[in-house]
């Protein structure tokens, strides 16, 4: 005979797992992985090798909490337009699976948790940098720029460039020229990365009146902008060479940046959805690969 208690327990577990999954999805795990890669890469360069394990662990945890909080608050603010876009309508805040109130509390708790963890166990410079990146993303990008200007990604991209500063500050307690070059790499990488996606999803942005570059200025102008920012990215990526990076990094940066530039040129002269998709996905591997090469350089020859 079936036990009613067992039935209730079995019913409860899938619901719990589904709820946890919904909350985790609001943190945007795919984006988080790239942010943590850039944080770790900065720490390895700042330490000229491998920093203490506890410092890496705590910094990564604090950075994750802070960035996750910003992503959750972004989902909370954008729940109206997310519900009307196929790419985002399954988010818990858009579908109604997670209430606006709960999402807001979750985002604030994550943000405060990251700030306190970094401040108390790492240093307050790293903590305030992480908090500044969080607030910039929420208030400057999401609330102010996103729905008002096609330059939203350019100006708002500064928020995504903060994690390397956090990693550098965690190791050194200060900031110096290489840290700002790492910031610039992510800053100039963001427009070609996101605009390649916008070329694929411009219909969705247009329907919800978000003025992404292809919607406002057209595809041809967007492709030219992608090429321009990719050229600047190539130049900035090589600026690390005089700051102690060896041939390992230089070779890796030349190969990765050269391929990214090749894709940007092909996207301009042979435009297609397939080429935009190829450029977008390579841009993800580009930033991961570039910071992996930095790490290999410092671990091997640091």
Compute the distance between CA of residue 55 and CA of residue 49 in angstroms, rounded to an integer: 13
Residue 273 inside a domain? The answer is: yes
What integer pLDDT is reported at residue 15 of this predicted model? Answer: 81
Residue 193 inside a domain? The answer is: yes
What integer pLDDT is reported at residue 13 of this predicted model? Answer: 57
Residue 39 inside a domain? The answer is: yes
Residue 110 inside a domain? The answer is: yes
What integer pLDDT is reported at residue 4 of this predicted model? Answer: 47
> CATH no. for residue 96?
1.10.600
Residue 244 inside a domain? The answer is: yes
| Tens-digit pLDDT string for the chain (302 aa) | 445 444 454 454 558 888 899 999 999 998 888 899 999 999 999 987 789 999 999 999 999 999 999 999 999 999 999 999 888 888 999 999 999 999 999 999 999 999 999 999 999 999 999 999 999 999 999 999 999 998 998 998 899 999 999 999 999 999 999 999 999 999 999 999 999 999 999 888 888 888 999 999 999 999 999 999 999 999 999 999 998 889 999 999 999 999 999 999 999 999 999 999 999 999 999 999 999 999 899 888 76
Per the structure, how many domains does the chain have? 1
């Amino acid at each position: 005979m079936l036990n009613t208690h067992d039935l209730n327990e079995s019913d409860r577990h899938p619901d719990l797992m589904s709820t946890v999954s919904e909350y985790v999805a609001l943190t945007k795990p795919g984006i988080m992985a790239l942010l943590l890669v850039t944080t770790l890469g900065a720490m390895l360069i700042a330490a000229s090798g491998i920093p203490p394990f506890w410092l890496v662990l705590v910094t990564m945890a604090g950075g994750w909490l802070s960035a996750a909080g910003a992503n959750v608050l972004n989902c909370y603010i954008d729940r109206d337009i997310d519900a009307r876009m196929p790419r985002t309508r399954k988010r818990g805040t858009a579908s109604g699976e997670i209430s606006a109130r709960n999402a807001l509390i979750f985002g604030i708790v994550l943000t405060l948790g990251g700030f306190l963890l970094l401040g108390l166990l790492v240093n307050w410079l790293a903590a305030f940098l992480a908090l500044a990146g969080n607030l910039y993303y929420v208030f400057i990008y999401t609330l102010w720029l996103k729905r008002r200007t096609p330059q939203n990604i350019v100006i708002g991209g500064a928020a995504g460039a903060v994690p390397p500063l956090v990693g550098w500050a965690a190791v050194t307690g200060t900031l110096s020229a290489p840290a700002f070059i790492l910031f610039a790499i992510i800053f100039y990488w963001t427009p070609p990365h996101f605009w390649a996606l916008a070329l694929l999803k411009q219909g969705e942005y247009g329907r919800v009146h978000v003025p992404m570059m292809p919607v406002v200025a057209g595809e041809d102008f967007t492709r030219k902008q992608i090429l321009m920012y990719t050229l600047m990215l190539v130049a900035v990526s090589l600026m690390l060479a005089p700051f102690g990076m060896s041939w390992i990094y230089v070779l890796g940066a030349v190969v990765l940046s050269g391929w990214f530039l090749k894709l940007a040129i092909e996207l301009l002269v042979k435009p297609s959805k397939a080429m935009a998709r190829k450029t977008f996905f390579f841009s993800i591997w580009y930033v991961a690969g570039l910071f992996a090469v930095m790490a290999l350089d410092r671990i091997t020859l640091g």
